Amino acid sequence: LVAFESVYSMSGTVGRIPEICALAKKYGAITFLDEVHAVGMYGPRGAGVAEHYDYAASLQAPAGQRIPGSVLDQVDIVTGTLGKAFGIVGGYIAAASSLVDMIRSYAPGFIFTTSLPPPISAGAVASIQYLSKSQRERFLQQTHMRELKADLASAGIPVVPNPSHIVPVLVGDAERAKLASDLLLSEHKIYVQSINYPTVPVGEERLRITPGPGHDAQMRSRLVRALDSVWDTLALKRSADWARDGGRCGVGESRTNSELHVGWKRGVDYVWEDHQLKQAHDYECARKGGIRIEPAIPATVQQQFVSATAA
């Protein structure tokens, strides 16, 4: 069994699923893909990163239809959550019916367990159905993430590079990461969790930020100003400082070095590419009778769409 993730929650890096599946097939191993931090947020119907690898084909295929030879088709077991993007509670696996029956019969976690209450199950079904059709939430989260990363880069705040929605801000010291988190809450009324060893290696302690579709430009600006203030107060290392010291986990390193660990497709900055975001925006506008997604497309992202369309 080869167990791996699509989006790694503390770094935002993305597993190279096709390569992992090929390796598993070579040695006759079952693949177990954890899409907990991706379902609802990636793929044209929110099925996760494996679906997103074949974005165009998944978009054209009827909902739920298997696409032979696709990346998702190569994965034996997918596990996800009904929390996070779906906003409920619980989790699931998706696999061949025989494999699901085997796990249901033999997995210790199912012995004497209690099923999800019917209202919770109904809420989960409604949420999945909604996010399988709506691109609004995915579009807004991705555009907010791009703007936040750009704003932090302009301020010299060190963000661990990755192609996903997760924004890890490198601190590099456990005590100071906790102090930074405390200052954000006590002085700026913003809660950001500090992440320390053993969740991340010693020396790579960080703050972990995840923009959501409900955030807006004003919230983003307030967060950037607060982080800038905290970095000054604690004299934390900025991006240029990390670069002078040789870099760490992609911060202050060359793109060639950082791409060794960020995952996804080599040479591609984000899982959601420009033309895919434009398609999602146009689809959602058409679905809503021409009503634009609010908040409107940020100016910098709009310019990227214009460039992508021209190309």
Catalytic-residue membership of 84: yes
Q: Provide the 3-class DSSP secondary structure of residue 118.
A: helix
What are the tokens at 168?
């890890």
* Full DSSP string of 258-288: HHHHHBSSTT-S-SS-HHHHHHHHHHHHHHT
Q: How far is CA 90 from CA 80, 81, 187, in A?
A: 9, 6, 35
What are the tokens at 81?
């959550």
- Sequence-ordered list of residues with C-beta below 8 angstroms from that of 149, at least 6 positions apart, any chain: 159, 167
Q: Which of 26, 84, 189, 288 is catalytic?
A: 84
CA–CA gap between residue 45 and residue 217 (Å, rounded): 26
- Amino acid at site 125: V
CA–CA gap between residue 141 and residue 185 (Å, rounded): 23
CA angle 47, 54, 284 (to 5 degrees): 60
Task: Give the residue numbers marked as catalytic.
Answer: 84
